[in-house]
Amino acid sequence: MGKFVNSTEEFFKFCKENEVEFVDFRFTDLKGTWHHVTYMMDAVSAEQLDNGLPFDGSSVEAWQPINKSDMILKPDVETAFLDPFTADPTIIVFCDVYDIYKGQMYERCPRSIAKKALQHLSESGVGDVAYFGPENEFFVFEDVKIKDTINESYYKVDSEDGEWNDSTDYEVGNIGHRPRTKGGYFPVAPIDNGVDLRAEMMQVLKQVGLTVVLGHHEVAQGQHEIGVVFGDLIEAADNVQKLKYVVKMVAHLNGKSATFMPKPLFGDNGNGMHVHQSIWKDGKNLFYKQGEYGNLSDMARHYMGGIFKHARAVAAFTNPSTNSYKRLIPGFEAPSILTYSSQNRSASCRIPYGAGEKATRIEMRFPDSTACPYLAFAAMLCAGLDGIKNKYEPIGPMDDDLFELSLDEIREREIPQMPHTLRGSLEALIRDNEFLQPVFTKEMIDIYQHYKFETQVWPYEARPTAFEFKTTYSC
């Protein structure tokens, strides 16, 4: 990630040069949602940046009780960048959260947890840096309607891409060029009508410091992806927050709505967040060993084995919404079978083709963008390090099309699978969490699983759906 400042002194110099009027301090909650507080530029001092800024931690879901609500935002000035969307010059700064009661970084602050994960890596002696490269897919819709009341519940999304609009009357006429269900991968305009929108997103992402590589229409109708360069664990997670902000805002300012929701369309592909990973030490890629399958070292294979061993619990962080598991059903290119393969996108872990020493890595394909990136990356790193420590061997490689396997065949081969529901992943987390505890405290894990049950699982399970009315109303 490109840095605009490297010190507090440079921060104030940069702000002066760019006539900054406001400083926007941002932090991330357990869901991965960004929160912010905006200060006048002339109200911000070097002492505040060093010592932190007070805020109310009780007003953030699943954080502090009201009788212990005072917390401190610790700005990381090296993350500063100019907000490309505000009317007045504003600079954004990422913050960590400090617990004044325990005198330490807050154990429920995702960014602080991610920093502890890097410290755990270093203390393990395995490596000195972990690189992550997330690929965040998203949909763009022109209209979104949602209603959720005691006697009525529905959603309706609309995209000019959707084949359901073939007979829609438009003021300028119906162009007729659409990608069709599962037909959206790499078509040119006019079928791909998002070229200019993605180009604007890519330009703004570059403006805020990301190294942008590519953009394209994805498989589903209305679905897109923009590829950015990987970074270390913290950089990569910061980049996800910036990318989601930019994508949503550019769409918004163009009269459209962007979503990273895993499965907004029934019967078409969903949004994933494939995550490329590798561990390095002293400038050497420890996942590389020439001549082995996929040029993967034993360490890389054991790291993968650790993620698969704990995948059902890891999923509570990498796939943390009820909607996540609608994406993982068979038939929509979302891998849920826990094996690995070189080049094969039907496996949960793919080893990308043609990677030399510097580019050799693994690609976990089951995560999605409802994940808080800091927690998801930290959980996978913890599981991977546990795999290296215990030399867990993953099942595989399996080079055949796993999407063609029946459920009976998967069971006969004793191939493990991802959980089928968020409830399943949270129950797995309750049983299997020791591998996380060098980084995640027991209290944090307990709070997290209760929070997800209360805000996702129980409300979801309590609601009747249109499909249930369709299939059971006349029984």
pLDDT tens-place string over residues 67-93: 999 999 999 999 999 999 999 999 999
Catalytic site positions = 56, 135, 137, 218, 225, 274, 345, 363, 365
The answer to whether residue 117 is domain-embedded is: no
- The reply to whether 134 and 96 lie within a common domain is no
Q: Which of 106, 141, 173 is the last residue of a domain?
A: 106
pLDDT in tens, 420-458: 999 999 999 999 999 999 999 999 999 999 999 999 999
Q: Is 278 annotated as a binding residue?
A: yes
Place of tokens 């953030």: 60
Nearest to 124 by CA among 443, 353, 386, 472: 386
Q: Is 269 annotated as a binding residue?
A: yes
Residues 6+ apart with CB under 8 A from 243: 136, 205, 210, 226, 228
Q: Is 412 annotated as a binding residue?
A: no
Average pLDDT, stretch 281-295?
95
CATH number of the domain encompassing residue 29 = 3.10.20.70
Residues 6+ apart with CB under 8 A from 97: 27, 57, 71, 72, 73, 74, 105, 106, 108, 109, 111, 112
The answer to whether residue 8 is domain-embedded is: no
- The reply to whether 232 and 371 lie within a common domain is yes
Nearest to 99 by CA among 55, 61, 62: 55
What is the pLDDT confidence band of residue 331, given thresholds at 50, 70 and 90?
A: low
Q: Which of 43, 71, 106 is the last residue of a domain?
A: 106
**pLDDT of residue 376 exceeding 80:** yes
What is the pLDDT confidence band of residue 333, given thresholds at 50, 70 and 90?
A: low
Q: Is 333 annotated as a binding residue?
A: yes
pLDDT in tens, 201-239: 999 999 999 999 999 999 999 999 999 999 999 999 999
- The reply to whether 205 and 294 lie within a common domain is yes
Cα 255 to the chain's mean position, in Å?
Answer: 25
Average pLDDT, stretch 268-296?
95
Q: Is 10 annotated as a binding residue?
A: no
- The reply to whether 102 and 203 lie within a common domain is no
**pLDDT of residue 43 exceeding 80:** yes
- The reply to whether 93 and 193 lie within a common domain is no
**pLDDT of residue 355 exceeding 70:** no
Name the phi and psi angles at 195, rounded to 5. Answer: -60, -50
- The reply to whether 142 and 51 lie within a common domain is no
Q: Is 434 annotated as a binding residue?
A: no
The answer to whether residue 113 is domain-embedded is: no
Q: Which of 106, 140, 162 is the last residue of a domain?
A: 106
Q: Is 271 annotated as a binding residue?
A: no
The answer to whether residue 319 is domain-embedded is: yes
Residue 302: domain span: 129-472
Q: What residue type is assigned to position 354 of the chain?
A: G
The answer to whether residue 118 is domain-embedded is: no
CB atoms within 10 A of CB 188: 8
- The reply to whether 90 and 144 lie within a common domain is no
- The reply to whether 97 and 202 lie within a common domain is no
Say which range, 3-12, 192-201, 326-335, 382-391, has the weakest mean pLDDT. 326-335
- The reply to whether 96 and 240 lie within a common domain is no
Mean pLDDT value across the chain: 94
Q: Is 390 annotated as a binding residue?
A: no
- The reply to whether 92 and 135 lie within a common domain is no
- The reply to whether 170 and 261 lie within a common domain is yes
Q: Is 276 annotated as a binding residue?
A: yes
Q: Is 277 annotated as a binding residue?
A: yes
Name the phi and psi angles at 276, rounded to 5. Answer: -80, 140
The answer to whether residue 120 is domain-embedded is: no
What domain count does the chain have?
Answer: 2
The answer to whether residue 363 is domain-embedded is: yes
| pLDDT at residue 3, rounded to an integer | 87
Q: What residue type is assigned to position 457 of the chain?
A: V
Q: Is 180 annotated as a binding residue?
A: no
The answer to whether residue 441 is domain-embedded is: yes
Q: Is 302 annotated as a binding residue?
A: no
Give, in order, the Cα–Cα distances in Å from 306 to each of 30, 171, 311, 336: 24, 56, 8, 16
- The reply to whether 390 and 290 lie within a common domain is yes
Tokens read off for 92? 């954004």
Show the DSSP H helices in 254-334 as ranges.
Answer: 298-309, 311-318, 324-327
Q: What is the DSSP string of 142-183?
A: SEEEEEE-SS-EEEEEE-TT-GGGTT---TT--------TT-
Cβ–Cβ < 8 Å for 356, 246: no
Q: How far apart are CA 116 and CA 111, in angstroms?
A: 9
